A and B are shown apart, each in its own frame.
Chain A
Amino acid sequence: MKITVEHAGVTENEVILRCPDLDEEMLGVLSLLRSGLQRLCVWDDSRQTTLLSPGEVVYCETVDDRVFVYTGQAVYQTALGLGELESRYGPLGFFRAGKSAVVNLHHIRSLASGASGRIQATLETGEKLIVSRRYAPLLRERLGL
């Protein structure tokens, strides 16, 4: 397989696979690329990096310009911003709940209609998170309401 890396003035990195058919070799490359894109690179307090599956993430929040990633068991940091997390993992259930939080909809235990149009989300960890009035209509739309 011939590998070519071109440096071009593009706004977004692009990978193009050219092949007559998607054979096993190309499928392997594809799955590697996809898994690489979907894994979230995070690090903990001891600066040990981990590749998290997005499904493990319960919610993310910004505190003092740092983005923290909460799983059920641990807290990590990531270099990605909340906007990037939402756009990259949105199809996997990530949802912007407020200016400083992104929540994984698959880890919400229940929702409750709150005051002045807000929605209170109770997470599987028992923590409560408020979906602000600005994002509440988007959540309703996402849930098909």
Chain B
Amino acid sequence: MEQFNRFYLWGVDTKYRMGLYFSAAVFFKGLVNVLLRSWTVEILILLEMLLACFVFACLESAIFPYVKEWPDEGRGRRVALWAALANLIFIGCAWGLHWFPGLPGWGGLLLIVFLEWALAAMWYALKLRKKLDTAALNRGLRRFQNEAE
């Protein structure tokens, strides 16, 4: 039962991540299509995007496990691996599976810049949250220590 619960929690977390990446992918696909004056998105491309996002979310859960603790040491290597996999999967799929047909070369480069910016922004958000959480923890600690004195 414990194994099932762990698997279930992993599934819930992974689906959240998958949903996050999928919504970003659909947003950019929709934006590009509108700019190219196309008002439809192929179902097959959506399914491919969903699958790619699921694979990336699974790999992310292996790099940064949700259900077990991982050491702070080697955090930089994990981040580098995560960013490399994101590039490999999303750029690889977009290029190999023709997610953006008719997009000029400079448009592709712009999408890659957006991807890098989004990855950096995501990591910055996590860092910011950690910084704010640390500040709140220390405020709470000082308050606790001062109250007891």
Contact = CB atoms under 8 A, between A and B. Distances in A.
A111 B148 CA distance: 18
Interface residues of B, number: 23
Contacts of A112: 134, 137
Nearest to A112: B134
A54 to B, nearest CB: 12
A108 interface: yes
Contacts of B66: 116
For the residues of B in contact with A, the DSSP-based class is helix
Interface residues of A, number: 22
Contacts of B141: 105, 108, 110-111, 143
Interface string A96-124: 00000000011010111111111110000
Interface in B96-149: 129-131, 133-134, 136-138, 140-141, 143-145, 148
25 contacts: A93-B144, A93-B148, A105-B145, A110-B141, A111-B141, A112-B134, A113-B130, A113-B134, A113-B137, A115-B64, A115-B69, A115-B75, A116-B64, A116-B70, A119-B137, A120-B72, A132-B69, A133-B69, A140-B137, A143-B137, A143-B140, A143-B141, A143-B144, A144-B143, A145-B137
